Amino acid sequence: MAQSRSRKFDEIAGVGRALGHPHRVLLLELIVQGGRPVERLAQLASLSTANASQHLQQLKRAGLVESQRSGKQVIYRLKDETVLHLLHAFQNCLEQQRVEIDVDRKERVEIIFREELMRRIRNRSIILLDVRPEDEFAQGRLPGAVNIPIEQLAKRIRELPKHKEVIAYCRGSYCVLSLEAMKLLNATGRRSRQFVEGYSGWRTNGLPIEALV
Amino acid sequence: MAQSRSRKFDEIAGVGRALGHPHRVLLLELIVQGGRPVERLAQLASLSTANASQHLQQLKRAGLVESQRSGKQVIYRLKDETVLHLLHAFQNCLEQQRVEIDVDRKERVEIIFREELMRRIRNRSIILLDVRPEDEFAQGRLPGAVNIPIEQLAKRIRELPKHKEVIAYCRGSYCVLSLEAMKLLNATGRRSRQFVEGYSGWRTNGLPIEALV
DNA sequence: TCAACAGTCAATAATTCAATTGAATAATTG
DNA sequence: CAATTATTCAATTGAATTATTGACTGTTGA
Q: Is residue A23 very low, low, confident or very high in pLDDT (cuts 50, 70, 90)?
A: very high
pLDDT at B104: 44
How many angstroms is C1' of C16 away from CA of B124? 55
Per-residue model confidence (pLDDT) at position A25: 96
Q: Cβ separation of A16 and B11 shorter than 8 Å?
A: no
Given a contact cutoff of 8 angstroms between Cβ atoms, the answer to whether B109 and B146 are in contact is no
CA–CA separation, A26 and A87 (whole Å): 11
What integer pLDDT is reported at residue A169 of this predicted model?
A: 94
* Burial class of residue B148 (count of CB atoms within 10 Å of its CB; 0-12, 13-18, 19+): buried
B65 SS3 class: strand
Whether B199 contacts B171, CB under 8 Å: yes
The C-alpha of B172 sits at a distance from chain A's nearest C-alpha, in angstroms, of 11
Q: Which nucleotides of D are covered by protein (CB under 7 A)?
A: 5-10, 17-23, 26-28
Detail the DSSP E strand segments found in chain B. 36-37, 65-70, 73-78, 127-130, 146-147, 166-169, 192-194
pLDDT for A113 equals: 79
Cα–Cα distances in angstroms (integers) from residue B39 to residues B47, B49, B69, in the given order? 9, 6, 13
% of chain B at pLDDT higher than 70: 89
pLDDT of residue A175: 65
DSSP A79-114: S-HHHHHHHHHHHHHHHHHTHHHHHHHHHHS-B--H
What does each C-alpha distance from B152 to B148, B166, B191 come to in angstroms? 6, 16, 19
**B98 in contact with nucleic chain C (CB within 7 A):** no
Residue of A6, A19, A180 for testing the chain B interface, max B β-carbons within 10 Å: A19
Q: Which helix (H) or strand (E) holds B179?
A: helix B177-187
pLDDT at residue B17 is higher than 50? yes
pLDDT bracket for residue A24 (50, 70, 90): very high
Considering only CB atoms, B12 lies closest to which of A4, A25, A180, namely: A25
Q: Could you tell me the pLDDT band of residue B199, with boundaries at 50, 70 and 90?
A: confident
Q: What is the pLDDT of residue A146?
A: 94
CB proximity list for A34: less than 8 A, separation 6 or greater: A77, A136, A139, A140
- DSSP assignments along B103-159, one per residue: HHHHHHS-B--HHHHHHHHHHT-SEEEE-S-HHHHHH-B-TT-EE--HHHHHHHGGG
Q: What is the pLDDT of residue B197?
A: 81
Are A83 and B96 within 8 A, CB to CB? no
Average pLDDT over all residues of chain A? 84
Pairing of strands B65-70, B73-78: antiparallel
Indicate the pLDDT class of residue B4, thresholds 50, 70 and 90: very low
Nearest to B11 among A16, A94, A180 (CB): A94
Using the structure, give the distance in angstroms from the CA atom of A73 to the C1' atom of D17, rounded to a whole number: 27
Across chain B, what does the average pLDDT equal?
84
B170 is catalytic: yes
Task: Report the pLDDT averaged over residues A68-77.
Answer: 87
Q: Which residues of A touch B86 (CB under 8 A)?
A: 86, 89-90, 92-93
Residues 6+ apart with CB under 8 A from B88: A89, B200, B201, B204
Query: Using CA atoms, how far apart are residues A210 and B6, in angstroms rounded to an integer?
Result: 28
pLDDT value, residue A204: 67
Measured distance CA(B47)–CA(B180) in Å, rounded: 26
| A53/D9 CA-to-C1' distance in Å | 40
Q: How confident is the model at residue B101 (pLDDT cuts 50, 70, 90)?
A: very low
Q: What angle do CA B76, B79, B84 make, to 5 degrees?
A: 105
Residue from B28, B56, B170, B177 carrying the catalytic annotation:
B170
**Sign of the alpha-carbon torsion through A113, A116, A118, A123:** negative
**Which of A170, A177, A185, A196 is an active site residue?**
A170
Is residue B20's beta carbon less than 7 angstroms from any atom in nucleic acid strand C? yes
Run of H or E residues at B55? helix B49-61
Global pTM? Answer: 0.64
∠ at Cα A27 (A24, A29), nearest 5°? Answer: 110
Q: Do B83 and A93 touch (CB under 8 A)?
A: yes
Nearest residue to B128 via CA among B189, B179, B192, B197: B192
**Nucleotide closest in space to A73 (CA vs C1'):** C6
By Cβ distance, the residue of A4, A12, A22 closest to B19 is A12
Q: Which tens digits make up the pLDDT trace of B104-138?
A: 444 456 778 777 888 889 888 899 999 988 878 88
pLDDT for res B100: 39
B12 touches strand C (CB under 7 A): no
Q: What does the alpha-carbon distance between residue A88 and residue B128 come to, in Å, rounded to a whole number? A: 33
Whole-number pLDDT of residue A64: 94
Nearest in space to A167 (alpha carbons), one of A151, A143, A138: A143
Q: Say what the pLDDT of residue A151 is.
A: 84
Q: Which residue has the higher pLDDT, A191 or A53?
A: A53
For residue A147, the cross-strand partners are A130
- Per-residue pLDDT at B10 exceeds 90: yes
Q: What digits encode the pLDDT tens for the residues A77-122?
A: 888 878 888 998 898 888 877 753 444 444 467 778 787 888 889 8
Q: What is the mean pLDDT of residues B183-209?
A: 82
pLDDT tens digits, one per residue of B50-79: 999 999 999 999 999 998 888 888 989 888
| pLDDT, tens digit (0-9, with 9 covering 90-100), for A110-154 | 778 787 888 889 888 899 999 988 878 888 899 999 999 888 898
Which of A23, A86, A175 faces B5 most closely, judged by CB atoms? A175
What local confidence, expressed as pLDDT, does residue A71 receive? Answer: 83
Q: Which of A39-48, A168-177, B204-213 has the highest mean pLDDT?
A: A39-48
Give the pLDDT confidence of B148-185 residue by residue, as tens digits.
Answer: 988 889 899 999 988 889 999 988 765 678 888 888 88
Task: Report chain B's terminal Cα–Cα distance, integer Å.
Answer: 53
Q: Beta strands B192-194 and B166-169: pairing type?
A: parallel
State the pLDDT confidence band at A174, using cuts at 50, 70 and 90.
low
A54 touches strand C (CB under 7 A): yes
Position A176 scores a pLDDT of: 74
Per-residue model confidence (pLDDT) at position A100? 38
Asked whether the beta carbons of residue A26 and residue B10 sit closer than 8 angstroms, the reply is no
